[in-house]
Amino acid sequence: MNIFNKVIIIFIPFLPKWIVKVIANKYIAGTTIKDAVLVIKHLNNRGESATLDILGEHTKNKNECIDISNKYVEILNQIDKNNLDCNISVKPSHIGSDIDNKFLGDNFRKIQKHAFNLNNFIRIDMEDSSLTELTLSLCDKLYNKNTNIGTVIQAYLHRSESDINLLRKNINIRLCKGIYNEDDTIAFKNPEEINDNYIKLLETAFKKNIYVGIATHDKTLIKRCLNLIKNKNISNKDFEFQYLYGVPMEDMISIYKKNNYKIRAYVPFGINWYDYSVRRIKENPKIATYVIKNLFK
């Protein structure tokens, strides 16, 4: 990590909110559903799919959880109304896992049923390791209801190889490295080990006919994924490449498009942009570097 990045991590909590907002605006699709719809339209017009996520987590109030669940239902309505190529991603802790598992399941079933009626898809997002078992179990139970459900596998967790082997065939997963600070007893810490495990999991998923959203910005890892796809003659229908909205990926996106690979942007939005932005910047200070450099161009 260079000195500039280290300085950003130290001083980000003390930056004026407006500066953080300038950075956040590059990576967040506004604060309202209307804002998000405009961003998705733009992405669709340039040939990219999208996943919408309402910012927030660890909701402690039942009424708030219900309100958030209803907002996801409204998002699905707007996606359908505007004929958008877009699905949704929902964090368990955002709609009830901190309150009660039955309540959580009821909220997810409501969203899933509405998505199914509108021929759409819902992904159960993955959070820290304390929720991994709950998330995978919930996904399995909801899959019994309708198959328009998927989840996330994190390559830095030791358990992920076992988890992916236990997943149902033909399920849809998002494969990412993982962003939470986990103990080395349960997670790989070495970047090369994480990348090696990522490739192992990707190959295992393909063997099981699991549809994979290849979600990484690591260009070295992406090239390894591209080589695996080519060497194993994987069909374009079995995967897509995903990236976080706003992260500069133009060179990789051009490669995806050249090969006719599906591309999906993960697009967060909502009023809880500040905490999300600070966390993202701390986890990846390059985000701030990109924006600050652009400000002075």
Residue-wise DSSP of 218-264? -HHHHHHHHHHHHHTT--GGGEEEEEETTS--HHHHHHHHHTT--EE
Number of residues in the chain = 297
How many other β-carbons are positioned within 10 Å of the β-carbon of residue 226? 17
- For the entire predicted model, the pTM comes to 0.90
Domain 29-269 falls under CATH 3.20.20.220: yes
- Alpha carbons 132 and 235: distance in angstroms, whole number: 29
The tens digit of pLDDT for each residue in 195-225 reads: 999 999 999 999 999 999 999 999 999 999 9
Show the tokens assigned to 73.
């239902």
Residues with Cβ within 8 Å of 149's Cβ and at least 6 positions away in sequence, in order, are 112, 121, 122, 123, 124, 139, 142, 143, 172
> Which residues are 17's β-sheet partners?
none
For residue 158, give both structure tokens. 């030791």
Domain ranges of the chain: 29-269
Which residues contact residue 276 at a Cβ distance below 8 angstroms, ignoring those fewer than 6 apart? 24, 28, 55, 268
With residue 282 as reference, give the H or E element that holds it: helix 273-283
For the chain, the distance separating the N- and C-terminal CA atoms, rounded to the nearest angstrom, is 23
Q: 59-84 pLDDT, tens per residue?
A: 999 999 999 999 999 999 999 999 99
| Backbone CA torsion sign across 37, 39, 45, 51 | negative
Q: Which of these ranges, 7-16, 51-60, 91-100, 168-177, has the smallest mean pLDDT?
A: 7-16
